[in-house]
Amino acid sequence: AAGVIQSPRHLIKEKRETATLKCYPIPRHDTVYWYQQGPGQDPQFLISFYEKMQSDKGSIPDRFSAQQFSDYHSELNMSSLELGDSALYFCASSLGREAYEQYFGPGTRLTVT
């Protein structure tokens, strides 16, 4: 069965650079979520989109923005990168809102040097 696709899988950036992470949800899933998982920590919710509209917002820095496109894929844009942004970034998708079962992609490992 098709799963959530994320690209790139690994990304190395320098401080103050920008990064764009992409997420392609499971076909027919209309809701996308972004999570950040730092080393040794549990995943933290950043932001979600339902039917191309922002649905909920968590601990997402102002330097980050995201959107969901007409084909339901989503992009997380990260600017003025800091060393502390180094983490695994997971995208998840679900059919419907309000935490119907969420399925996670393999993640993008971002390293900021």
Partner 1 sequence: RKEVEQDPGPFNVPEGATVAFNCTYSNSASQSFFWYRQDCRKEPKLLMSVYSSGNEDGRFTAQLNRASQYISLLIRDSKLSDSATYLCVVANTDKLIFGTGTRLQVFP
What is d(CA 57, CA 54) in angstroms, rounded to the nearest whole number?
Answer: 8
What is d(CA 99, CA 78) in angstroms, rounded to the nearest whole number?
Answer: 25
Q: Quick one: which of 12, 5, 10, 15 has its CA closest to 83? A: 15
Q: Give strand pairing partners of 88.
A: 37, 109
Binding string, residues 11-50; x marks residues near partner 1 by CB under 8 A: --------------------x-x-x-----xxxxx--x-x
Given the complex with partner 1, which of 89 and 112 has the nearer CB atom? 89
Given the complex with partner 1, which of 54 and 80 has the nearer CB atom? 54
Residue 107 is a binding residue for partner 1 (CB under 8 A): yes
